[in-house]
Amino acid sequence: MSMEFKEYPDREMLALSVADRIAGQLGQHLRTSPTASLCVPGGTSPIPVFETLSGADIDWDRVTIFLGDERWVDGEHKRSNGRLLRRHLLRDRAAAASHIDLYTGDERPEDAADALSQRITEHLPITVALLGMGNDMHTASLFPGGDRLAEALASDAPPLMAIHAPGAEEPRLTLTRPVLSKAIHLHLLIMGPEKREALERAQKLDPLEAPIRAFLDAATVHWAE
């Protein structure tokens, strides 16, 4: 398999197309399966996709949504990925979906990883996973220099792991390579010239230096200036 790259004339077209593609893939899956799962990124890039996707006409009550990673801060903190999800995706028609909140309120993400891994396992393989990427080539919270990056990239990694990295402002909980890379449909959403350059760099690097590299062969990349 090799990476598919789709370029859009502008960010609005990008968001509309990605939302439409995700809704289509979830809807298609629900024609033959009782349930579907959707894994989404945090950060800032996915907001316009979320806002369109939340209005999609699919059986959201049969869909379970969870983040690919969480920043270990209170759910109302401005850096909380869960807050972003609640404000922009878990509303309108998508409010009917089930949600697995990755922030449990435990003191450390390590304390939550095992129980959440079990809950996520019930929804594997992920039907549709949307990834984001930082300029440092991290995806989910798989950061270059992360203390347990090699373990999280290994084929026997548990579904979720706590990770601490110099490039991350706070401790993180992240889905790992095996569960993300085995999603039935895998998409990467990136915008702007810096991320396109980072993507090009990543293609020549090892996943330990450029974690996004671990997913590129299976992913459709969606980019707009």
Ligand X SMILES: O=C1O[C@H](COP(=O)(O)O)[C@@H](O)[C@H](O)[C@H]1O
* Amino acid, single-letter form, for residue 35: T
Tell the smallest beta-carbon distance from residue 132 to ligand X (Å).
Answer: 2
The footprint of ligand X on this chain (CB under 6 A) covers a number of residues equal to 14
Residue with the closest Cβ to ligand X? 43
Nearer to ligand X, 58 or 64 (CB): 64
Nearer to ligand X, 27 or 43 (CB): 43
Nearer to ligand X, 63 or 70 (CB): 70
Tell the smallest beta-carbon distance from residue 211 to ligand X (Å).
Answer: 11
Of 2-10, 67-75, 121-129, 151-159, the window that binds ligand X (rule: CB under 6 A) is 67-75
Q: Mark residues 95-134: x for contact with ligand X by CB under 6 A, - for none.
A: -------------------------------------xxx
**String of DSSP letters for the chain:** ---EEEEESSHHHHHHHHHHHHHHHHHHHHHHSS-EEEEE--SSTTHHHHHHHTT--S-GGGEEEEESEEESS-TTSTT-HHHHHHHHTSSGGGGGSEEE-S----SSTHHHHHHHHHHHHTTPSPSEEEE---TTS-BTTB-TT-TTHHHHHSTT--SEEEE--TTSSS-EEEE-HHHHHT-SEEEEEEESHHHHHHHHHHTTS-TTT-TTHHHHTTPEEEEE-
Q: Mark residues 28-47: x for contact with ligand X by CB under 6 A, - for none.
A: -------------xxxxx--
Distance CA 100, CA 77 (A): 18
Nearer to ligand X, 62 or 86 (CB): 86
Cβ-proximal residues to 32 (8 Å cutoff; 6+ apart), any chain: none
Q: Considering only residues 127-166, where is the footprint of ligand X by CB under 6 A?
A: 132-134, 140-141
Tell the smallest beta-carbon distance from residue 44 to ligand X (Å).
Answer: 4
- Residue 128: CB atoms within 10 A of its CB come to 22
Nearer to ligand X, 48 or 134 (CB): 134
Tell the smallest beta-carbon distance from residue 43 to ligand X (Å).
Answer: 2
Nearer to ligand X, 71 or 187 (CB): 71
**Where on the chain is the footprint of ligand X (CB under 6 A)?**
41-45, 68-69, 71, 81, 132-134, 140-141
